[in-house]
Structure 1
Amino acid sequence: MTSPTVGFTIDRESLEVAPASTAKMSVCGLAGPFATHAPYDDATFTAAFPLDTPVLINSTDAKARMIAPDGQIGRALSLINAQFADGQTAALVVLVRTATGVDDAATIAAIAGNSTTGTGIWAFKRAGAVCGVYPRLIAVPGWTRQTSLDGEGALLANPIAAALPALLASIYAFAYVWTGGVDAATSKAYRETIASGRIQPIDTGVVTTLSDGTTVANDDPTPIALGLHVRRDFEKDGRPFSSILNQPIYGIVGPSRHVDFSLLDGATEGQDLLAHQVSVIIRGESGDDFAIADGGFVFMGFENCDPEATWSQTHKVRGRDFIELTAIRTVRQYLGRFNLTTQTCKTIVDTVDDILAAAEAKGEILGRRVRFDPDLNNTSDLRSGLIWVEAKFEEAPVFRKLGLVSRPYAIALAKTIETLAAQAI
């Protein structure tokens, strides 16, 4: 429309603080070989789940029912579903079906895939474009426990666990791996092969029930951890700032092995594994004052394998991912639409601050400071359209230990004497 000679020109502009476009952090990702479930034929199944392709399903929908329920992925979906909170009915899951090799090594190689060709777990990188979401909680049930020794007898990393850190960092995801549940020594040796703040190993396997009533004596527990995160996020309006430490586990017959645990004794096997950033599943003990619970089965774990203690608590990593991803999703609408003026800079700073203010109001972070940093910004960057915003915030740590100082209180005796003396009068 041509501008009028006499009249008005109206230009609507929305250079205001934008409402937060929150990231989805509770989407699970499972990778590995899996088969069809009768009555679905192979052609229909293959069309629904092509090899090395991310496929989004609802964990209780028709596509989920196409998967053999007693297979590794089928059991994983059941374990995720078993952890749901009241009112929660399903989880979003991105599945990547991989080829079954001639042996375990070939199957593991197919799952580890290739970053260049986008096969195996690397197919998750295409999930954003293909599925509309990225999985942010990843497990490879049944295939992370296999390890080998080098010529000198030192433990070699599982190939999938070795490939995961780069993938996880690229899509802001977190993964759980299983050490095999053999014993504490094996789990600690396994943990020594990992140095990633996006991976948390679990020691204890679980006993699960198949559809014919038989049991799997030592099943992979990693889907349980994913389900617990889905539950905790659901309870907190999709915000991933809560730990799954000391969360009850459902849907299992029991742990595959007993792990000794005491709330007071750090020398017990469970406490020792926790000290090495290895999670465990503990059985509740009614009548035991030093047990973690009176009954049921409890997930005990809160730390990943990051070499830096600052980022060792898993919920902190997921919470910071949420803040950063939300900032990306929210601020991107300003790119290219406005010139870099003082008002634009202030609006962007205020937008980021609003994201952190909401987290602080909910008790997810302890404090914040957001500002246009004069030390980081310079005339050359501003001229090119680049600004730096400093966002400082501290995630609330999980409450994991109480130091109780128990002392006598002589003043109480003196007050007792005073009371008795007054009554005697």
Structure 2
Amino acid sequence: MTAPTFGMTFTRVFDEPVPVLGADFSKILIIETSEDANADTYPLDTAVRISTGDSTMVADLGTGMLAAYVQGINDQLSDLNSGADVTIVRVAEGADTLATCANIVAVLNAITDIPSAVNATPRIVLAGRTAWRADLDTTNPVIAALEANLGKILAVAVVDVDDTSAANAIDARETMSSERLMPVGVAARVYEGEVLVTRPMSPRVAGLMVRVDNSTGGTPFDPFANRAIYGLAGLSRKIPFSLLDGSTEGQQLLEANVAIVAEGETGVDGAISDGG
């Protein structure tokens, strides 16, 4: 509220013992499409809170991008805790990518309605189609909406950017001004049944964040950097990287605040790991 320039305000003195409630920063919000999802379970533009360990609710997501995002999260939950607390908002697939982005933006612009609707405040947001741009001089509309709305629920967003080259990924990063965004400049190659497909890396990073948060009890002292990403068949492209050489492409991307996933190399000094 805004204090009156002339008038009076009322405050309550909090000098009594109150219970301490733990904060959970692992709740995720996903906004994406799935044309063959169960419409009764997931009505359009409606927030539905689920556990990703609930196989029935996951099956009702169908075979669209929502299911792909949840699979990416679940692949990272390799310990006994096998489910993430996720709120799903299914939006309609538009006539083109820009129209789909507009549907996602509409949900983001009303993001403050979601916590009350599901009795949970998501702190990690996964919004689809962030890698698309109309041209190299234009910000993605979903990115613009994230910048305007993430602070309203104190959330962060892992966002995919152009994974075809370092130059395009850095160019996309230059259109962002919010510290609540974490761009990722490489996509995932994963198996869906017998088919090898390219999928966004962002849900896998979000799943990693949940895994590390749960394993450390939510303490902020153990970063999720330099950890294994599970469930990958490969990367959309190999990014040269060395822990010892700051001139490599991977180091240049990190310097520009673009996150990467790099392959390990056995017996190579400076490699991120011996394998995987």
Counterpart in the other structure of 1:214? 195
Shift in alpha-carbon separation, 1:193–1:129, aligned structure 2, 3 A: same
Contact 2:205 2:229 in 1 (8 A): no
Counterpart in the other structure of 2:98? 105
Are 1:159 and 2:146 matched, yes or no? Answer: no
Are 1:133 and 2:146 matched, yes or no? Answer: no
Are 1:58 and 2:39 matched, yes or no? Answer: no
Structure with higher Rg: it is 1
Q: Deviations over 1:6-54 (max 9, x none)?
A: xxxxxxxx954433212221011110111335xxxxxxx2222122121
Per-residue deviation at 1:85? 4.1
Contact 2:42 2:61 in 1 (8 A): no
CA distance in 1, matches of 2:45, 2:110: 6
In the superposition, the TM-score normalised over structure 2's length comes to 0.90
Shift in alpha-carbon separation, 1:79–1:221, aligned structure 2, 3 A: same
Q: Deviations over 1:348-384 (max 9, x none)?
A: xxxxxxxxxxxxxxxxxxxxxxxxxxxxxxxxxxxxx
CA distance in 2, matches of 1:223, 1:204: 12
CA distance in 1, matches of 2:34, 2:109: 17
Per-residue deviation at 1:77? 0.6
Of 247, 255, 274, 1:275 maps to: 255
Per-residue deviation at 1:100? 1.2
* 1:72 aligned partner, one-letter code: M
In the superposition, the TM-score normalised over structure 1's length comes to 0.59
The secondary structure found in structure 2 opposite 1:55 is: strand
Contact 2:126 2:158 in 1 (8 A): yes
Contact 1:35 1:67 in 2 (8 A): no
Counterpart in the other structure of 1:342? none
The secondary structure found in structure 2 opposite 1:248 is: coil
Are 1:251 and 2:231 matched, yes or no? Answer: yes
Of 167, 172, 196, 2:178 maps to: 196
Q: Deviations over 1:75-117 (max 9, x none)?
A: 111110111142111001011111111111111111111xxxx
* 1:80 aligned partner, one-letter code: I
* 2:248 aligned partner, one-letter code: T
Q: Which has the higher contact order (CA 8 A, sep 6+)?
A: 2
Gaps of 5+ in 1: 1-13, 38-44, 114-119, 297-425
Gaps of 5+ in 2: 1-13
CA distance in 2, matches of 1:124, 1:249: 29
The secondary structure found in structure 2 opposite 1:156 is: coil
How many residue pairs get aligned? The number is 262
Q: Deviations over 1:178-220 (max 9, x none)?
A: 1121100000000000010100100011101112x1111x321
Equivalent runs, 1:139-154 vs 2, <5 Å: 139-141=126-128, 143-149=129-135
Equivalent runs, 1:171-182 vs 2, <5 Å: 171-182=153-164
Runs of 4+ in 1 over 3 A off after TM superposition: 14-17, 238-242
The share of aligned pairs that are identical, in percent, is 34
Per-residue deviation at 1:72? 1.4
Per-residue deviation at 1:240? 4.7
